[in-house]
Each structure stands twice: as structure tokens, then as C-alpha cells.
Structure 1
Amino acid sequence: MGFSRCRAQVESIYDDLVGDYVAQHGKTPPRSVQFQLAQQATLTDRPAKTRLRTFAEQDLDIESTLQAALSREPVTASAGDPSRGGAEQHEHADQERVGVEPRSTGDLT
């Protein structure tokens, strides 16, 4: 599975739209129309967002997807669970990887 889960579907829809354009106009669509068709293909069949997700939830989903693609051990659910301190621990792990000091919780004055 690739990183983009919907790319093949979007490309298939785009190819159909270009085929319809060629059938109707007898020529390949110009770049401006190709761009419009690509946007239309991207928005077609896009599911509605059901709820907003926190950055920690999104990060956990991305990490799980990557680990599945790389056939590694799955991430535990607590890694992104703010109620268990997981999000804060995860943030500190990210900061350590890039050499950033954790944010201070003390007074800024």
C-alpha cells in the first residue's frame, strides 16, 4: 500500500474525465482544463469529514500506516492518548530526534 491511499482512485476518475472531454471535443484538453479536471477528480467520492481529530491522533494514524507499510510492530494506542500522557511523551520523543529542547511549563517572565 502506498502512502497515498486514494491516488489510484483519483487517477482513474481523472482518466475517465479526460476521456469524456476527448469524446465531446475531439481533442486533448488544454492545461487549464486538465487542472480543472484534476481538481474535480480529487473532490469526487471524497468522504465527508465526520469529526475533527487532534494532531496526536493524526500523527498516530500516520505512524501506524508507516509501520504497517514497513512491517514493524504496531504502535500502542496509548502513544497518542492525551489522557495517559502519551501525546506529551510522543512530543518529547519527536523533539529529542530533531534536537529541540522540550517546552518549559514554568513562568515566562
Structure 2
Amino acid sequence: MAAAGNALAAADPLDSEALAGAVATALGAIQTLGKAQAGDKTLVDALIPFSERLGSGIAQGEPAAQATAALLPRLGRARSHGSRSVGHPDPGAVSLAQVLVAVQG
């Protein structure tokens, strides 16, 4: 976590790419410290695909919270709105995205 924090502190601008870089930096630090590689059945096995997917999604401009607009809600508070909520991003997803942006800063 310290490696990720240091990467974010040094980032200019502090944006989505910086966040993806911080996750990759944290992964590298964990692998260096613990010597774990993919397939060793450690948290690295979960962190590698997360880091890769985060980086590629950001590079492709994938708007994760906005992508929920096309979904029909089956659970949560939006469930009661049914098909009327289609076309609008999920408020919880938007809130989470805002929290993640705030954590970046």
C-alpha cells in the first residue's frame, strides 16, 4: 500500500492512469518483497488480473459507472425502478466512482 501511495503522491496529473500505475506499482512491490509470482496461490494471483484489467479498461476509456446505464436492475435500491432506470447509471456505481476519484486526490 505504501508503494501505491508513493506512486499516487508523485503522479502529475493525478488521474485514472495514475491510479492504474499505482496498482501496478503495488503489485511490483508485493512481488519483489514476497517473491510471489502468478500461480503461487497468493494474493498476487488476484492482483495480477485486477491490475491488467484496470490498466486496459482505462486505456480503452471504459467508463465503468456509466456502463451500468444499460443494465436492468435486479437487486439494490434501483430494483424498484425497473425498466425506468435503464438509460441512467446506477447511483451506487456512480458514488463508488466518486469515492475512488476522491481517494486518488
Please indicate, yes or no, whether the TM-score normalized by the shorter chain is above 0.5. Answer: no
Greater per-residue helix proportion: 2
RCO greater where, 1 or 2, for CA within 8 Å and sep 6 or more?
A: 2
> Which of these two proteins has the greater Rg computed from alpha carbons?
1
TM-score, normalised to structure 2, is 0.29
TM-score with structure 1 setting the length: 0.28
